[in-house]
Structure 1
Amino acid sequence: MSQNVRGVVAREQGKPVTVETVVVPDPGPGEAVVKIQACGVCHTDLHYREGGINDEFPFLLGHEAAGVVESVGDGVVDLEPGDYVVLNWRAVCGVCRACKKGKPHLCFDTHNAAQAMTLTDGTELSPALGIGAFIEKTLVHSGQCTKVDPNVPAQVAGLLGCGVMAGLGAAVNTGQVGRGDSVAVIGCGGVGDASIAGAALAGATTIVAVDTDPRKLDWAKQFGATHTCNAREQDPVEFIRSVTGGNGADVVVEAVGRPETYKQAFYARDLAGTVVLVGVPTPDLNAPEIPLIDYFARGGALKSSWYGDCLPSRDFPMYVDLYMQGRFPLDKFVTETIALDEVESAFDKMHSGDVLRSVVVL
């Protein structure tokens, strides 16, 4: 029997979100209904509201979530009611060409729930990243539920569902930062700070944080930045070179998604260094003009990082365990906890740079 619950909906591009009654069906084959305990407010949700992802309005927003499985559909064998889970948007299929090559972290055909959640008038909702978690209960594919230690607070655990994992994985998985490496991170919001924390965890000895906001640079120090550069006052490329022996960084993570900052990342790396693009560009942006000879002359690697190239079943429990051991500072990402009807004000705070992460607690 379907349930009526409260959820945050973006009905029109650029318009304030509203809390509405959402109809959640019983789980069908391979599906699960999860009672949400907490969900982070991610910039991707704002992208959806602004039409920067697609125009399939209305959207059910929210995706960085943790909660408890309430019910499961037929054929679900590795999940049961009562399981404590972090939701993910990479429920691997196991049969696509990436999965068959032994690279499930690149799965090209990830699963979502087959049924739609709707408004009370029957209008189908498009769940953000196939999840839709600014809601009391949501319907997902069972593969989108990753079981973790139930002792970790939901407002902390849920952040692994997107932003923290994207930044952390950009450094550790995509950039393959290792002991003794030098790392620069351009853009020190939640994703950038997660890259800094990941680089510190991996053993990088020089970690440069670059931003234009002094508050964000102060935050970056809490996650392990050894040097900071205010890009309004100093040339980031020259600064990064100055603290890396004149060479540039081994790995540069671009966490902004702008042509200008990507060009800085390109020239701030060492000759055989790696650039990782994890900042999400809007569809109207083009690559910066860089002479082709400079691509050839520098060698190294230019990579894009999708979801931090993570495998949720492997990575989420591991980083929860590291948090519980006091070795990974997940709690430092939470600036404030808010109610479901405060998501719109959280978007405003995100715009002004007043928060690292607002987290909805239900």
Structure 2
Amino acid sequence: MAQQVQGVIARAKGAPVTIETIIVPDPGPGEAVVKVQACGVCHTDLHYREGGINDEFPFLLGHEAAGVVESVGEGVTEVAPGDYVILNWRAVCGQCRACLRGRPQYCFNTHNAKQKMTLTDGTELSPALGIGAFAEKTLVAAGQCTKVDPSASPAAAGLLGCGVMAGLGAAINTGEVGRGDSVAVIGCGGVGNAAVVGARLAGAAKIIAVDIDDKKLETARSLGATHTVNSRSTDAVEAVRELTGGFGADVVIDAVGRPETYEQAFYARDLAGTVVLVGVPTPEMRLDLPLLDVFGRGGSLKSSWYGDCLPSRDFPMLIDLYLQGRLDLDAFVTETIALADVEKAFERMHQGDVLRSVVVF
């Protein structure tokens, strides 16, 4: 039987979000209904509200979530009612050319629930990243549920569903940071600081955090950065080179996603080094680099999609590290808030003093 719950809705571009009653249908084949326990407020949700993703309003926002499976549809074997799960937006298909080549982390045919959640008047909702977890319950594809140890705090665990995984994975999976490497991270918001943590977990010897905000740099140092550079007052490329013997870092991660920060990353890396773009550009942005420099400096220029993660592999492993005290996910939870405070959390994003506000149900 369909259920009525409260959720955060973005009805129009730039308009403040509203709390409204939504209809969650019973799960169909391959689907699951999840009772959400916590959901982080990610910048991607703000992008949806601002029309920066697409114009398929109204949106049911929220996607960095953890909760408990309430019911499943026909044919679901991955999870069962009562399972504690982190929601992900990469439900791999197992059949596309990437999956068949043994690279499911690049699945080109990820899927969501086939049924739509609606408003009470029947208006269909577009769930953010196919999840829509700023709601007491949500309908997702069963493959979007990754079972993890239930001992983990929902507020912390849910952050692996997007931003923290993106940053950690940019360092560990995409950048392939190794023991003794030097790493520079440009942009120290939630994703960038997660990249700092990922570089530390991978055994990097030198981790250089770059930002224009001293408060963010202080946070980066507390999470494992060995050096910090305020690029508002210091040339970031020259500073990174100076800290790496004049050569540049082995891996440079751009967690901002602007042409100027990508250019910094490109020139701040060592010869044959790696640049990882994990910050998301906007459609109008363009990049102008001398092609001879691209050739002459060698190495790798990579983009990191969701930290190139495979949720079924990475989420349980990272939760284990969290429970062992080796991965401080709690440090990313700046505040816990109520569902009605999401709009205020968007405003706080612009102040630069939060890694994550987390809605706790």
- With the length of structure 2 as denominator, give the TM-score of the two structures: 0.99
SS state of the match for residue 46, structure 1? Answer: helix
- Once residues 182 and 192 of structure 1 are traced to their aligned partners in structure 2, the CA distance between those partners, rounded to angstroms, is 15
In structure 1, what residue type is equivalent to 2:172?
Answer: V
Asked if structure 1 preserves the Cα contact closer than 8 Å seen for 2:66 and 2:86, the reply is yes
- Counterpart of 1:220? 220
Instruction: Give 1:241 shift.
Output: 0.2
| Residue 111 of structure 1 pairs with residue 111 of structure 2 | yes
One-letter identity of the residue aligned with 1:103: R
Determine whether 1:306 maps to 2:305.
Answer: yes
Distance across 2 between alignment mates of 1:219 and 1:8: 30
Superposition pairs for residues 231-270 of structure 1, below 5 Å? 231-270=231-270
Residue aligning to 2:83:
83
Cross-structure match for 1:176: 176
Encode CA deviations 1:164-222: one digit per residue, 9 max, x unaligned: 00000000000000000000000000000000000000000100000001100000011
CA distance in 2, matches of 1:286, 1:135: 37
Q: Indicate the residue corresponding to 1:296 in structure 2.
A: 295
2 CA distance for matches of 1:99 and 1:87? 20
| Residue-by-residue CA offset, 1:38-61 (whole Å, 9 max, x unaligned) | 000001001111111111111000
Q: Tell me the distance in 1 between the aligned counterparts of 2:179 and 2:292.
A: 31
User: Post-superposition shift, 1:286?
Assistant: 1.2
Q: Is structure 2 residue 331 aligned with structure 1 residue 361?
A: no
Deviation at 1:223, TM superposition (A): 1.2
The alignment yields a C-alpha RMSD, in angstroms, of 0.5
User: Partner letter of residue 355 of structure 2?
Assistant: L
Deviation at 1:160, TM superposition (A): 0.3
**1:3-24 CA-partner distances (Å, limit 9, x unpaired):** 0100001000011111110000
Correspondence for 1:120? 120
2:331 corresponds to which residue?
332
1:26 is matched with which residue?
26
- The TM-score normalised by the length of structure 1 is 0.99
Query: Match of 2:151?
Result: 151
Distance (Å, rounded) in 1 between the aligned partners of 2:146 and 2:38 = 15
Quote how far apart the aligned CAs of 1:88 are. 0.3
Contact 2:271-2:299 at 8 Å conserved across structures: yes
Contact 2:336 2:358 in 1 (8 A): yes
What is the letter of the counterpart of residue 298 of structure 2?
G
8 Å CA contact 2:216, 2:353 repeated in 1 = no
Letter in 2 for 1:113: A
Would you identify which runs of 4 or more consecutive aligned residues in structure 1 move more than 2 Å? none
Distance 1:40 1:349 in 2: 13
Give the whole-Å Cα distance in 2 for the aligned partners of 1:218 and 1:324: 25
Deviation at 1:284, TM superposition (A): 1.5
Q: Share of identical aligned residues, percent?
A: 75
| Aligned position for 2:320 | 321
Q: Can you list the C-alpha shifts for 1:272-327, whole angstroms capped at 9, x where unaligned?
A: 0000000011111112x211110011000000000000000000000000010010
User: Is residue 37 of structure 2 the alignment partner of residue 37 of structure 1?
Assistant: yes
Matching residue's letter, 2:257? G
Q: How many residues align?
A: 361
Give the Cα–Cα distance (whole angstroms) in 2 for the partners of residues 203 and 77 of structure 1. Answer: 37
The whole-number CA distance in structure 1 between the counterparts of 2:270 and 2:167 is: 21
1:78 is displaced (CA, Å) by 2.4
Instruction: Determine helix, strand or coil for the equivalent of 2:350.
Output: helix
Q: Any conservation in 1 of the 2:98–2:106 contact (CA below 8 Å)?
A: yes
**CA-to-aligned-CA distance 1:244-268 (integer Å, 9 cap, x gap):** 0100000000000100100000000
